[in-house]
Every structure is written in C-alpha cells, then in structure tokens.
Amino acid sequence: MKVLITGGAGFIGSHLGEKLLELGHEVFVIDNLWTGKLANVSKIQNARGFHLVVDTILNESVMNELVFKVDHVYHLAAAVGVRNIMDHPVETLDINVKGTETVLRLANRFKKKVFVASTSEVYGNHMEHTLSEDDNRVMGSVKKRRWAYACSKTLDEFLALAYFDEKKLPVVVGRLFNTVGPRQTGRYGMVLPNFVQSSLLGKEITVFGDGNQTRSFTHVFDVVGALIKLMQDPAAEGEVFNIGNDHEVSINELAQKVKEMTGSPSEIGHISYEKAYGPGFEDMQRRCPNVEKIRKLIGFEPEYDLEAMIQSVIDYFKE
C-alpha cells in the first residue's frame, strides 16, 4: 500500500513512517520543516520505498500529485505546541484550517481514506470526569489566544465528519492526549522533554502555574499502533476516537518523578502562566481520556506506563 503522511518529519509522523515502512508499505512524506526536522527521518531517508517532499500542505499542486498516487493519507501536519500557538496565532489558524481543508478536498477528489489527527484540547475546560468523545466542549473567551488551537482543530473535525456524511469520504478522526517519547522537543512548550532536559543539565525544573493541574501521557509507539489499526478497520470510518492513556498525573508529580529518575540535583520551581506565555493564556486543570470506545473497537491498551515513558525520553536525550 502507498501511504502519505503530512507532517511526516515531525515527532509522531516520523515514528509512523518508520512503522509503516517496517510493515512493507511505500511511504510518502510532506513536511515544511517548521516544527519537523530532517534528523527525525535520518534513519529512513535512504530506505527503499521512502519519499520526502519538503513543502507546505498549502501548496495545492504538490498535494494534488501526492494524494493522487497514494491509497491512505495520515494528516498529522499542524501548528503544534503551546509556545507556537501563543507566538504565531495567524499561522496556527492558517495551517490548521486551510491545510486540513486542502487535504480533505483533494482526498475527496480521488476518494482516498484519511486519518485526521485532532487533539484533546478540543474538550477545553472540562473538569468533572474523564473525557468521552461525545462530551460537550467548554471553551474560554476568544480573547484568550490559547483557545485558537482548540477551535481550529474543532473545525478540522467538523470538516472531516462533513466530508464523511455528505461526500461519503472514508475518514477517521483521532484525538491525541499528550503524546510523548523519543524525538519530541521541548522547544515549543512540551512539558516532559523540557523537564528531562533541565534535569539532565542540572537546571531548575520549571513548572507553570501551581503544578496541581493533571495530564495523561501516552507513548508515541502506542499512538502509532493505534493510528494504523484504526485505519485498517472499516468500522472506524466516520467516527472520533480518544487516543490516550487514562492514568492521570499532576505536573508537580511528573516533575518530581523526572528528578528522581534522572538522579538530578535540580530544584523544582514555579512561575505564573502570564510570565511564561504572556497575556492571553489560560490552562485547563484536568485532561484525562475515556478510552472505552477505542478499546472496544481495536483492543487498544497502552503498553508504556509513566516510568517507561519518562525513561524513553531520558535515554533519547542522553544519546
């Protein structure tokens, strides 16, 4: 099978490309290298059946040719990372909305199956319970720039499901919850690589806010396996799935665990969100997925627990 991965030189996309090649597929990647890196695909760039195009998904003529020649499209390209969203709101909306519309329109032209990567951010400020796919969203003010990303990905989901309902395009939507692992960079505000890098360098481990906010982390290998299985199952078409781990940890606990596992002398400090990101930011206190739907369909069970996830990131940065 021939597969296109948009954003395929990124953190998740590069791991997905490696796995698909391992399974015998021919892999085409397009990435503008804004947050992706050539180093991420260095292990496979010369592999038989791997093709890399350095360009933007907004280049319709290039995308038209790529979508035409493949069987499946994994649409992972997006503006990602809290720092990016806060610093580049126009680019965030442009890439996430126009880019997804381009992918879906071209996929519909040639009737190619599409996976659309969404995010747990679409749930917004839910606090009461684990998050299920049919829950209402709780969004903050449009004056709070943080919500631009969540709203752009929400529109992506609406577009994808509209193409499924109206055009009968085979589409699968996956909401990813804090994917972590080798190759993830802390450059754009990703919490675990930032903590690990600081710990290994003996610098302060900086927690934003009071640190009592909780998150649920999932290893990239578990995520990649889920994406492939969802695309293989016709029953997933036209559906939205949480892809995550239902084990919660506070950011304070995460910082302490990283400090212990690295044997670091680093102190753990706290700064306000406003100092970290400037005005226009607010955070959600809890984000934990209900994974019954994906578990029931494809038997999804994360293999990596929190310690294994942290250790894989430590090993990566030590290398």
Torsional sign, CA 35, 40, 42, 47? negative
Q: Which long-range contacts (CB under 8 A, 24 or more apart) does 274-279 make?
A: 276/206, 276/208, 277/82, 277/83, 277/86, 277/146, 277/189, 277/208, 278/86
- Phi first, then psi: what are they for 59, rounded to 5°? -80, 95
Phi-psi region of 7 (alpha: psi -120 to 50; beta: other; left: phi over 0): left
Q: Round to whole Å and give the CA distance between 293 and 115.
A: 17
- Specify which residues 174 forms β-bridges with: 117, 241
Helix, strand, or coil here: 237? coil
Is residue 149 part of the annotated active site? The answer reads yes
Q: Which of 74, 149, 188, 277 is catalytic?
A: 149
The residues assigned a catalytic role are: 149
